[in-house]
Amino acid sequence: MRAAASAIAALLLLVAAAVSAQERPVLPPATPVPETGEQVLAGLSQTNVALTAGFEGLELLVFGAVWRSAPVPEDAEPLQVIVTVEGPPQRLAVWRKARRAGIWMNVEQVRVASAPSFYAVATSGRLAGSLSATEDLRHRVSIPLAIRAFGTLAGAADAPAFTDALIRLRTDAGLYRVAEESVELTRETLFRTTVALPAALTEGEYLVRVLLSRGGQVLDVTETAIAVRKAGLEGWLAALARDQPIAYGLLAVALAVAAGWGASAAFRYLRS
Amino acid sequence: MQIYLPIAEVTANVFVLLGIGGVAGLLSGMFGVGGGFLITPLLLFIGIPPAVAVATGVNQVVASSVSGVLAHFRRRTVDLVMGNVLLAGGLAGAGLGIWVFGLLKRLGQTELLVQLSYVLLLGLIGLLMLQESLRAIARSRRPDAPRRRLHQHLWVHRMPLKMKFRTSGLYISVIPPLMVGALTGVLAAIMGVGGGFLMVPAMIYLLGMPTKVVVGTSLYQITFVAAAATVMHAFTTGAVDIMLAIVLIVGGVVGAQVGTRLGVRLNAEQMRILLAVMVLAVAGRIGLDLVLPPDELYSIVVTGRP
């Protein structure tokens, strides 16, 4: 009896340690791929995005097919396709203003360990019906699960209000989006969808995932990445500012001197 | 036409940016003030992050003052000795300002620092300018009014470490010019302005410099302090956006030429009142943002990569 109790306690400790280490609940292993063995093959309209001065955002086309070794059983649940596009993760501080001495200023903050700079979910059906809660947790599909908040400062006890605000602000800015029933699925075999990437994109690797599911259970996942890079003059300037800030500062001064002096010289010449 | 700003990481309309640079240039052409005090608030209004607005504003100041100082060098109206003392103070002040800016940035209070300093300074300057122009108009209506004394002995003349400033014809302590220079250096770093609006009156009334060398000497100090503050910002806050600066400078150059011509035709005193009202309006608008409950209580600051 005591041995069983201590074994259970040890197990609980292990689970607790695992939770704190990974900050995510421990889940039972994924259900094995069913007999029908359905797999997803996906392609993208492009694998590179160049951020230049004239970049005005773009429509990313995600398309593909479902490959299966055996026909779908008559009684099977309908197939669902879920597409996620996830921008490079960022460490954030979410601030909340309050009135101090008659002035509105940032008073409380919640730090967010990791939040994607961009996150879009497109589904063929309703998201809630396409993924069970467990599968959603495992694959971190819905927006709140893509964000990991930790440690609050300055007594912000209501941390969820901060993460809600983060999601709301980024949704308003077009950076976080859930588009249900926006994946076209033809005869449970061919699918396509477009995901709008806004003009203000952060540089980095954008991860595109395609999940197949039936009855809330994920059957297969495939991942590809798009490289979003600042290109041309902008890319060169951003890299210089990051890698050699002094040289970048001197360049800024030199350009300003040349422009200021050059312009006045030009106007003097025009007038004479 | 939208343009992507690589450091600010936002897109902005290029014509709006040209207009902002143009308005600042117009003011500098009409009144000889730098116009930097308008650029930073206007950039804030269109959604440029505060650090970028300040750091890029100070970069633009370099361009707007360099051609002026060259013209003054040709006319020999720069007191180099005084300019270098002011510059020494200015560099120290800019360093201090950058340190304060970086500290408050880490505390998430950049916006508050920029807003508060603008409300206080613009409010003060606007009121002083308004009072001065109203007094000038009153004086011009009463020609028999008493004139200001040309040379006064002030408390600054009793301080130690005296030095000869030949071009200005002064023998005064270096402490007051160092302090004046340091103050403008702090303003350059945390507000992105040249600080001429503060330095010029201080040079005339506090140091007692002859007016013909005041503008050239202040431009000399501003050019170098703004250049140093630009490099310091690039190194510490990484917020200098060269693309943004170039668009602002182009707008400013054109605005300054238009302003110079307009300034000749218009009544200077009435225009000065207009400028004072404009400065007060900008201060009032920023002040309202501080006092009125904001539409959005929450804001997001990217602090790095996980």
| Residue-range domain boundaries for chain B | 2-141+151-291
Nearest residue to A254 via CA among B246, B287, B219: B246
Q: Is the dihedral of CA B59, B64, B65, B71 positive or negative?
A: positive
Backbone phi, then psi, for A232, in 5-degree steps? 60, -145
Q: Is residue A48 part of a domain?
A: yes
Taking a C-beta distance cutoff of 8 angstroms, is the pair B24, B36 a contact? yes
Secondary structure letter of residue B70 according to DSSP: H
Domain count within chain A: 2
Q: Are residues A3 and A123 in the same domain?
A: no
Quote the minimal CA–CA distance from B67 to chain A in Å.
5
Q: Are residues A11 and A135 in the same domain?
A: no
Structure confidence at residue A22 (pLDDT): 41
Give the integer Cα–Cα distance in Å for A160 and A166: 10
Residue A6's domain comprises 1-30
Q: Is residue A61 part of a domain?
A: yes
Q: Spell out the per-residue pLDDT of chain B, length 306, in tens.
A: 778 887 887 888 889 999 999 888 888 777 767 677 888 888 988 888 888 999 999 999 898 888 788 888 888 888 888 899 999 999 999 999 999 998 888 888 888 888 898 899 889 888 888 888 788 778 777 666 555 554 555 566 667 777 787 777 777 888 888 999 999 999 999 888 888 878 888 888 888 888 888 888 888 999 999 999 999 999 988 889 998 999 999 898 888 888 777 777 777 677 778 888 888 988 898 888 888 888 888 888 877 776
Please report, for the domain that includes residue A193, its CATH number: 2.60.40.1930
Q: Are residues A100 and A218 in the same domain?
A: yes
Residue-level length of chain B: 306
Q: If you measure CA to CA, which chain A residue comes closest to B6?
A: A234
Please, which residues bridge with residue A214 across strands? A79, A217
Q: Are residues A43 and A168 in the same domain?
A: yes
What is the SS3 assignment for B9?
A: coil
Quote the minimal CA–CA distance from A254 to chain B in Å.
9
Q: Is residue A167 part of a domain?
A: yes
What is the SS3 assignment for A45?
A: coil
Q: Are residues A173 and A92 in the same domain?
A: yes
Contact A246 B234 (CB under 8 A): yes
Q: Are residues A2 and A135 in the same domain?
A: no
Among the partner-chain residues A53, A55, A105, the one whose CB lies closest to the CB of B243 is A53
- The bridge status of strand A176-179 relative to strand B170-173 is unpaired
Q: Give pLDDT < 70 ranges for chain A.
A: 1-36, 149-157
Contact A248 B242 (CB under 8 A): yes
Q: Is residue A265 part of a domain?
A: no
Quote the minimal CA–CA distance from A135 to chain B in Å.
25
Among the partner-chain residues A117, A170, A246, the one whose CB lies closest to the CB of B231 is A246
B161 interfacial to chain A (CB closer than 8 Å): no
Taking a C-beta distance cutoff of 8 angstroms, is the pair B274, B262 a contact? no
Structure confidence at residue B16 (pLDDT): 92
What is the SS3 assignment for B3?
A: strand
Structure confidence at residue A14 (pLDDT): 44
Q: Are residues A141 and A214 in the same domain?
A: yes
* Element (DSSP H or E) covering residue B175: helix B175-191
Q: Cα Rg for chain A, rounded, in angstroms?
A: 25
Q: Are residues A11 and A54 in the same domain?
A: no
Contact A256 B238 (CB under 8 A): no
B59 contact residues in A (CB cutoff 8 A): 252-253, 256
Contact B300 A169 (CB under 8 A): yes
What is the SS3 assignment for A42?
A: strand
Number of inter-chain CB pairs under 8 A, A vs B? 184
pLDDT in tens, A176-220: 998 888 888 888 888 999 998 888 788 889 999 999 888 888 888
* Element (DSSP H or E) covering residue B219: helix B211-236
Q: Are residues A55 and A144 in the same domain?
A: yes
Structure confidence at residue B193 (pLDDT): 86
A261 contact residues in B (CB cutoff 8 A): 66-67, 70
Contact B306 A56 (CB under 8 A): no
Q: Are residues A20 and A41 in the same domain?
A: no
Contact A255 B250 (CB under 8 A): no
Among the partner-chain residues A52, A238, A246, the one whose CB lies closest to the CB of B235 is A246
Quote the minimal CA–CA distance from A157 to chain B in Å.
15
B160 interfacial to chain A (CB closer than 8 Å): no
Q: Are residues A134 and A60 in the same domain?
A: yes
B2 contact residues in A (CB cutoff 8 A): 54, 56, 199
Taking a C-beta distance cutoff of 8 angstroms, is the pair A109, A147 a contact? no
Secondary structure letter of residue B67 according to DSSP: H
Contacts 24+ apart (CB under 8 A), A32-36: A33/A219, A33/A220, A34/A214, A34/A219, A35/A70, A36/A68, A36/A69, A36/A70, A36/A71, A36/A72, A36/A73, A36/A76
Question: Is the model's pTM score more than 0.90?
Answer: no
B120 interfacial to chain A (CB closer than 8 Å): no
B70 contact residues in A (CB cutoff 8 A): 261, 264
- To probe the interface with A, which of B10, B52, B64, B66 has the most A CB atoms within 10 Å? B66
- To probe the interface with A, which of B242, B249, B253, B295 has the most A CB atoms within 10 Å? B242
Q: Are residues A25 and A156 in the same domain?
A: no
Structure confidence at residue A253 (pLDDT): 93
B9 interfacial to chain A (CB closer than 8 Å): yes
Q: Is residue A256 part of a domain?
A: no
Contact B2 A56 (CB under 8 A): yes
Among the partner-chain residues A56, A104, A260, the one whose CB lies closest to the CB of B63 is A260
Structure confidence at residue A156 (pLDDT): 57
Structure confidence at residue B50 (pLDDT): 87
Give the integer Cα–Cα distance in Å for B259 and A233: 32
